[in-house]
Chains A and B, each alone.
Chain A
């Protein structure tokens, strides 16, 4: 009797990855702590950076730039809403958690500083977010793949906008070059955290939900090197990585940001707005 060839483990892995979402899969909102935790990281990154950028509103270098920054902030707040609603209830998560429960990276919670620092931060974050979301469009989690597919276009724009500004500021005047270098020096410590893989991410990667960021670290570094090169700026020396955001260990800045952001729902816990 002819027999089927044995099933090899690598084939199982491929089948697992390409398996279409079907009737037997659990609904995407079933509580899965690995999934929720990963969505929260992505959602918190978007939320906190959106909140930071909205601080610029009314104070930007020109009316046009005010409009640009608000567009980026609106995109990010929209992404945060979608992602956090997949992880739970977006408003509850945004307004009722304390510092230790936030999962965003250190980079996004950094104060805006001047326009140069804001744009450097944006370049470093959006380039990473873009590469990540490009890959997340293939996530086995349909909801996340859908959000990534929508967001990836927004983020592509953020990335280009930030790159264009960093080029102009880096290669502008003596003052703007200095300010851009300062912004870069401020933010550079937080880049390694973007590529940190802990047990939670590993679990989410194994589940086919998440992407291992190390897969695109080389591409990221090359791209940042290229953008900085075009701006006439040297790539900073690597500094000791500052980590901890993904475990709830943040800078002092996040507490103040949350105090402002959460003040109303905390003061009036029974109110609906």
Chain B
């Protein structure tokens, strides 16, 4: 063992916004990972809240499955409000 495991860092930039992936740090454990994340990614007031998660705990979809995962949504146009025609006279809908 010579380097610590990798953690993914998520930062909430300000209240009302979701946490967003910012990058990663190496750290021996969760508490130190939070400190490393703070010391690395919020030096310029970039955040008000931090999440860290072990990189190995992230489950990701396989890009090779992108076709079957995401393309079937493409022809479901009826899921979008613009699919429906409403007469111009009708308001607030």
Contacts and interface: CB of A to CB of B under 8 A. Distances in A.
A65 B26 CA distance: 10
Contact of B26 (A64, A161, A164): A64
Given A71-B39, A71-B43, A64 B25 contact: yes
A68 B3 contact: no
Nearest to A63: B26
Interface in B1-48: 3-4, 25-28, 31-32, 35-36, 39-40, 43
Contacts of A168: 28, 32
Nearest to A69: B39
Contact of A67 (B3, B32, B36): B36
Nearest to B33: A64
Interface in A123-177: 161, 164, 168
A236 B47 CA distance: 40
Max chain B Cβ within 10 angstroms of own Cβ: one of A62, A64, A71, A161: A64
Given A62-B4, A68-B36, 7 more contacts: A62-B26, A64-B26, A64-B39, A65-B36, A67-B43, A161-B35, A164-B35
A163 to B, nearest CB: 11
Contacts of B3: 62
Nearest to A68: B39
Contacts of A64: 25-27, 36, 39-40
Max chain A Cβ within 10 angstroms of own Cβ: one of B25, B27, B32, B35: B35
A80 to B, nearest CB: 19
A168 B35 CA distance: 14
5 contacts: A62-B26, A64-B36, A67-B40, A71-B39, A71-B43
Interface string A67-87: 110010000000000000000
B52 to A, nearest CB: 12
Interface in B42-92: 43
Contacts of B26: 62-64
B4 A68 contact: no
Contact of B32 (A63, A71, A164): A164
Nearest to B43: A71
